[in-house]
């Protein structure tokens, strides 16, 4: 089944959110080789809202990996 444009947009945003919420944890640093990061809650909420609102629709999904 082919998705309509609106559904494709929803899926794209959901995939960005999934990547975004994969924050690099300090406790996993020795296993992943990626340094842990801390993002204040207000910044996380703001970015999450912007993703949902389509502000970042033109940015590739991979750019959101581990930044939230």
- Tell me: the pLDDT tens digits for 11-32? 999 999 999 887 788 888 888 8
- Burial of residue 64 (CB within 10 Å: 0-12, 13-18, 19+) is buried
pLDDT surpassing 80 at residue 61: yes
CATH number for the domain that contains residue 68:
1.10.1140.10
Cβ-contact 11, 3 below 8 angstroms = yes
In-domain check, residue 45: yes
Residue 11 covered by a domain = no
Q: How many domains does the chain have?
A: 1
- pLDDT score, position 56: 97
Tracing tokens 């309509």 back to the chain, one arrives at 4
Does the residue 61 lie in any domain? Answer: yes
Please report whether residue 34 resides in a domain. Answer: yes
The pLDDT, as a whole number, for residue 1 is: 64
Flag whether 28 is in a domain. Answer: yes
**Is the residue at 6 inside a domain?**
no
Better-scored residue on pLDDT, 50 or 22: 50
The answer to whether residue 50 sits within a structural domain is yes
- Asked if the structure places residue 13 within a domain, the reply is no
Neighbours of 20 (CB within 10 A): 21
pLDDT at 8 over 70: yes
């Amino acid at each position: 089944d082919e998705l309509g444009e609106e559904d494709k947009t929803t899926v794209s945003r959901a995939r960005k959110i999934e990547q975004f919420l994969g924050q690099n944890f300090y406790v996993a640093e020795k296993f992943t080789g990626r340094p842990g990061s801390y993002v204040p809650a207000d910044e996380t909420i703001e970015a999450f809202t912007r993703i949902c609102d389509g502000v970042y629709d033109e940015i590739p999904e991979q750019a959101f990996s581990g930044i939230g």
